[in-house]
Amino acid sequence: EGIGPQEYTAIKMEVVEWSDAAKAQLEGKLVGRKVYLVAATLRPETMYGQTNCFVGTAIKYGVFAANDKDAYVCTPRAARNMAFQGVFDVRGQTNQLAELEGTVIVGAKIKAPFSHYPEVYVLPMDNVLPTKGTGVVTSVPSDSPDDYATLMDLRKKAEYYKIDPSWAAFDPIPVLSTPAYGEMSAPVLVKKFKIASQKDVKQLADAKELAYKEGFYNGTMLVGEYKGQPVQEAKNKVRASMIEQGLAFAYAE
Ligand code: A2H
């Protein structure tokens, strides 16, 4: 954070299959539109390593028509920002088709653009802020300590978190290598900082800072079209490529 706008990449994750509860709530409201969860990320170059997506279970989301063909799931706050950034067909206006609680979005099967795993599941995360990004977070447990710690919590306590264990079964994939933390910085830092769960927010903030800096300044891509290139160079190229292919769009706040 800091001064000036944060430039996110909004990743479009098409919903392939909804939970029964979500299906019931969406009945008759989509009018033939495809629906995408929209996740805001600052690390587009890591999208090869997506293993799932996170929503907050206490957050209310909207399904917003982007045009006649597509609809986006995000917080109403993010939809208003998108409207003023020209994301929807009518600038400045949102067209909300439905409301969905985070709890019913959990368990949806979605496409994960550029990921090693073409289809993944939506899982719950305690620390998703309704006031940041879209309220939807794509999960890259190889390089995000928060994502890694949360995925391990979910695997340990699937019943408590009311998820099917198979939804959390996708293993982290190496995406970039760094001199300090090897091919998967998140698990290394989670161990180093003795982080036991997603509730260790203070240590997670420190781990996140280190992973981000080391990845950005010293990281080298291990996969994808820009394999072998420094992260500093690949980051914007991956972003541009996703946007060009219609798999993502620019989102700022
Ligand atoms: B990042 P900043 Cl691999 N609540 O994407 C909590 N976290 C959120 C969020 C919300 N509403 N919206 C976005 N985020 C996460 C990838 C990633 C991210 C990696 C490593 C670090 C990292 C995969 N998750 O973030 O507060 C999203 O996770 C650390 C900078 O705006 C987004 O980028 O600086 C990042 O936090 C935005 O955080």
Q: Is 6 in the pocket of ligand 1 (CB under 6 A)?
A: yes
Residue 171 has pLDDT above 70, yes or no: yes
Distance 150 CA to ligand 1 centre (A): 13
Residue 80 has pLDDT above 90, yes or no: yes
- Determine the longest span between alpha carbons in the chain, in angstroms: 53
Whether residue 22 contacts residue 35, with contact meaning beta carbons closer than 8 Å, is answered with no
pLDDT reported for residue 3: 72
Q: Is 212 in the pocket of ligand 1 (CB under 6 A)?
A: yes
Give the range among 3-7, 34-38, 54-58, 180-184 with minimum mean pLDDT: 3-7
What percent of the chain clears pLDDT 70, i.e. is strictly above it? 99
What distance, in Å, lies between the first and last C-alpha atoms of the chain?
A: 11
User: Tokens representing 46?
Assistant: 């890591």
78 class by beta-carbon count within 10 Å (0-12 exposed, 13-18 middle, 19+ buried) = buried
Chain CA centroid to CA 184, Å: 18
Average pLDDT for 93-111: 98
**Residue 107, number of CB atoms within 10 A of its CB:** 20
pLDDT reported for residue 155: 98
Atom number, ligand 1, closest to the C-alpha of residue 133 = 12
pTM value is 0.97
User: Tokens representing 219?
Assistant: 């990281």
Q: pLDDT of 114-154, one tens digit each?
A: 999 999 999 999 999 999 999 999 999 999 999 999 999 99
Average pLDDT for 35-46: 98
- 5/97: higher pLDDT: 97
Q: Is 11 in the pocket of ligand 1 (CB under 6 A)?
A: no
Calculate the average pLDDT of the chain. 97
Please, what are the domains in the chain? 7-252 (3.90.740.10)
pLDDT reported for residue 5: 87
Q: Binning pLDDT at 50, 70 and 90, where does residue 2 land? A: low
User: Tokens representing 200?
Assistant: 């260790």
Choose one of 37, 42, 105 to mutate for the ligand 1 pocket test, by most ligand atoms within 8 angstroms of C-beta: 42
User: Tokens representing 226?
Assistant: 């820009």
Residue in the block written with tokens 């995360």: 125
**Residue 19, number of CB atoms within 10 A of its CB:** 17
Residue in the block written with tokens 């019913």: 104
Whether residue 51 contacts residue 152, with contact meaning beta carbons closer than 8 Å, is answered with no
> Pairing between strand 34-41 and 70-74?
parallel
Residue 1 has pLDDT above 60, yes or no: no
